[in-house]
Chains A and B, each alone.
Chain A
Amino acid sequence: MSVLKSMSSWLAVGALVWILDFAVMGQMNPYFFSVIMYAGINVILAVSLNLVNGFTGQFSMGHAGFMAVGAYVSAYITTSLQASNPELLMGFQGQVIFVCTLFFAGLMAAAVGYIVGLPSLRLSGDYLAIVTLGFGEIIRVTLLNIEAVGGARGIPGVPPLSSFGWVYSFMLFTIFIVWRILHSAHGRAFLSVREDEIAAQSMGVNTTATKVKAFVLASFLAGVGGGLFAHYLQFINPTTFDLNRSFEIIIMVVMGGMGSITGSVFAAAFLTVLREALRDLQTVTHVDLRMVIYSLFLIILMLTRPSGVFGNMELPDLFKRKKRQEV
């Protein structure tokens, strides 16, 4: 009982997501709706990457690779089911199958994360960044060469199973488990590795196991995010998951603040919206200045606030600080 009680506020927000799904989202402008969906998916990716890059202090540049594994695994399963017996994916049954598929896709991504992480996490800093970048590309090129998943053509006609409800439920799920783990002995071990690996070791922390744990967990969540992405866009190919995608997620993490869940949520939502909002500018200027403004914005931010918008603060910390000042 106490387990459920401690989760009550999370469950309440989850219920709200589904109420919104049924009440509002159907009538929404499809374009706005797509921005909202991508924002939700990007939050999942940014928060999970922050677990590795921000909280454990290991700079990974291959997050899109794990997203790709999740997207391909889940898309392959549902498109095959769609082809063989489409009635399975109808109604409630279809929703259950979709969620199970997402979890399975996440587990596959986690397995790949384990295989990648075990050798590469012995390295640190620039070396680790390069190795993870390499592994991300290996995953992409491997997918490019598997004919069963369409090679360069990718998988078209993925069933549109990602609803607002699922994307935002999984977003909440991601924030929830990352938050809870960070506020436990496991999370403190992540932080100790970031702070000082040698000291962590001599306090009894198995640093290699800790790093792999963070990496596998982040890969799992990225896989789920990839699955949601595939079933919203309804089409995936290897180019979707190239280096640009990895960098996009890194930018969100850095901008929000390495080591702040709040920051990642905020930055992922903000950057997704910003890039779309700047589209309107194009109708005025007749030149596509989107990426120029986007980049300028990032440069200015990094010059003025190098630790990101939130640094390592979370939303509750901000309230606490305010209270302290009032007293």
Chain B
Amino acid sequence: MSIALETKKLTIQFGGLKAVSELDIQIPEGSIFGLIGPNGAGKTTVFNMLTGVYQPTSGQISAFGQNIIGFAPHEITQKGLARTFQNIRLFKDLSVLENLLIARDQSIESKKYGLVSSVLRFPSVMQSEKEKRKKALDLLKIFRLDHRSEEDAKNLPYGDQRRLEIARAMATGARLLLLDEPAAGMNPQEKNALLKTIKFIRDEFKITILLIEHDMKLVMGVCERIAVLDYGVKISEGTPQQVQGDPAVIEAYLGKTEKKA
């Protein structure tokens, strides 16, 4: 199976602090990969490097066999990586549908048109708009948000907002979805529903998912492989069962057990 995302010796330094140090991960295409670790372990920093927000100090990142270091965030999105945010970042005053359309407009799958065409509304422009709309509505249906398509994003309940953010990332035409704590602040029912959604979109769209999560139950339930970060260093990697049993992971999360005298 081919590799969707690979990092080699990925390192970033903020002044004297090495936030992430020599991280190696390999995510096979079509898998759900979890990146976990205690607070401040550097998980979101890794995300920010993958999406072009931070430039790594050294190391390599390649997505679908292509180098993605040195590209601006919007260029990386156009290469097929899309993310969600730990603290939801929707376009709050725009409708649910517009949120998706904005992402769809930029997708490499959509036909682009210039300013003059948008003023004159050539038939090709209308055609492109119609296709984008249809695709957006289809996605909303999958995420069970189609009945709220005209509502302002800010008026959705919390769980729906999280789902909308994932739908919006999907609308970019992403082949690799990066989810930053998608279950943060959700209640158990919402979490269960989210779990199903994540599995469903992977199966339905054959995409790869990298997920950062605090909630152990969610990670164990959905991920096929997990990497554990602590102080910017990968301390363990493997299947959920392997990671769960790894003493290094238990130590990182719960602290060292005192040795008996």
Contact = CB atoms under 8 A, between A and B. Distances in A.
Interface residues of B, number: 40
Interface residues of A, number: 30
A206 B112 CA distance: 14
Output the residue of A2, A177, A185, A191 with the most chain B CB within 10 A: A185
B113 A196 contact: no
Contacts, number: 101
B242 to A, nearest CB: 32
A177 to B, nearest CB: 5
Contact of B106 (A180, A203, A213): A203
A203 B103 contact: yes
B120 interface: yes
Interface string A179-206: 0110011111101100110111111111
B77 A202 contact: yes
Contact of A204 (B53, B89, B103): B103
Contacts of A205: 74, 102, 105-106
B112 A204 contact: no
Contacts of B110: 185
Interface stretch (B93-101, B188-196, B244-252): B93-101
B94 A204 contact: no
A199 B90 contact: yes
Contacts of A177: 119
A186 B105 CA distance: 9
A312 B73 CA distance: 29
Given A191-B94, A192-B91, A200 B119 contact: no
Given A180-B118, A181-B115, A195-B93, 17 more contacts: A6-B121, A181-B119, A185-B113, A185-B129, A186-B115, A186-B118, A192-B94, A199-B85, A202-B74, A202-B82, A202-B83, A203-B82, A204-B77, A204-B106, A205-B74, A206-B74, A312-B93
Interface of B: 51, 53, 72-74, 77-78, 82-83, 85, 89-94, 98, 101-103, 105-107, 110, 112-113, 115, 118-123, 125-126, 129, 132, 168-169, 172
